[in-house]
Amino acid sequence: MTNAMADSRQTPPLAPGSVAGMTPTATTPAAPPAASTPAPGASAPPATHRLLVPAAAAVTVVLWGSAFIGIRSAGFDYSPGALALGRILVGTLALTVIAALAGKLRLPRGRTLVGVAVWGVLWFGLYNLALNAAERTLDAGTASLLVGLAPILIAVFAGISLGEGFPARLLVGIGIAFTGVAGIALATSSGASDVVSVLLGLVAAVVYAGSTILQKRLLPQVDSLTMTWLGCLAGTIACLPFAPVLLHELAAAPASATLSVVYLGVFPTAIAFVTWGFALTRTTAGRLGAATYAAAPLAVLMSWALLGEVPTPVALIGGGLCLAGVLVATLRLR
């Protein structure tokens, strides 16, 4: 993937016949105009961005929706800490390969580097730990409802701290989508939950939203690929205390569960976070956050197709409302 936020600062072109540091005189012969060559790393034209940004957002949403299936497959054999470490360890390895192929990493320094490390520990470490632990007793519907609060929090945080405001289209779309998420939750809820798990789900939603705002603030100082790679590495280091548990459970887990961990690391973590960062640099946090509402109905459909869990009519209606809300909120995604 290309370096999404690499600075492309160019010195303004000199006038024909000028020499840097000298003022041309009237007798200086004018040089013939040189052919214009696009500078390496220059930003893509807006028309291209209008296609790439929704495509990147769609990849993120689909892969994040599939993560619910992967977590469900691996969660019976891996504890929350071991699952979080295994997932982001694989993600870090995959991101290292992607970064090596891109070959354009620019490591930040000072406060920016500290900010990226904090973001990585929160987003890759704490979020995964909280969600994995919550889903030990929470059913999928309730967990989706709790995590579904994140896009609303993103819109509120972005409106206040990033000055994105509260466009009517965004607020209406979020309201419609959240109604759909609530419908899915009610339709799939088994009532198996406890106060601690609910609180953990709320923690995951708050960390999700806060991490998005922090990432949006940091992206002007560091490109999205570098930030994702360093953030995942920081989260991996923070989760290293779970290494002994991971090794123990890895020896006992079936191959299918371990493959699910690998899938979670490569696709919903490495690839999805790269496309997420790419899109976040080119649109508002509120609109991109609203787009993630589509992950819930996609998770229901994938669960139907892959796990044989047939959704109820209410869940299907909720999924339709999610997609309608995303369309309303992100119609002008760019």
What number is the average pLDDT over the span 26-38? 42
pLDDT at 299: 72
Can you tell me the distance from the alpha carbon of 334 to that of 330, in angstroms, rounded to the nearest whole number? 9
Q: What is the DSSP letter of 36?
A: P
pLDDT at 142: 62
In the chain, where do the E strands start and end?
Answer: none
Residue 302 lies in a domain: yes
Helices (H), 219-283: 224-238, 243-252, 255-264, 272-280
Residue 19 lies in a domain: no
Direct distance between the N- and C-terminal alpha carbons of the chain, in angstroms, rounded to an integer = 19
For the chain, the farthest-separated pair of C-alpha atoms sits apart, in whole angstroms, at: 87
> Contact at 8 Å (CB) between 86 and 318?
no
Residue 33 lies in a domain: no
Residue 322 lies in a domain: yes
Which residue's structure tokens are 């920016």?
Answer: 112
Residue 21 reports pLDDT greater than 50: no
Which residue's structure tokens are 């003022």?
Answer: 23
Over residues 118-127, the pLDDT tens digits come to 999 999 999 9
What number is the average pLDDT over the span 166-174? 74
Residue 48: Cβ within 10 Å count: 10
Q: How many domains does the chain have?
A: 1
Identify the band that residue 188 occupies on the pLDDT scale cut at 50, 70 and 90. low
| pLDDT above 70 coverage of the chain, percent | 71
> H or E stretch including 52?
helix 46-74
CA 57 from chain center: how many Å? 9
Can you tell me the distance from the alpha carbon of 125 to that of 69, in angstroms, rounded to the nearest whole number? 19
Residue 31 lies in a domain: no
pLDDT at 30: 45
Identify the band that residue 36 occupies on the pLDDT scale cut at 50, 70 and 90. very low
Residue type, 164: E
Identify the band that residue 23 occupies on the pLDDT scale cut at 50, 70 and 90. very low
Residue 59 lies in a domain: yes
Residue type, 36: S
Domain holding 266, by residue range, is 51-330
When the pLDDT of each residue in the chain is averaged and rounded to a whole number, the result is 77
Q: The tokens of 311 are what?
A: 């959704």
Computed on alpha carbons and rounded to an integer, the radius of gyration of the chain in Å comes to: 23
Over residues 92-136, the pLDDT tens digits come to 999 999 998 988 778 899 999 999 999 999 999 999 999 898 877
Residue 4 lies in a domain: no
CA–CA–CA angle 254, 274, 327 (5° rounding): 100
Q: How many CA atoms lie within 13 A of 225 on its CB side?
A: 19
Reported pTM? 0.72
> Does 30 or 88 have the greater pLDDT score?
88
Over residues 244-260, the pLDDT tens digits come to 999 999 999 999 999 99
Q: The tokens of 46 are what?
A: 């807006």
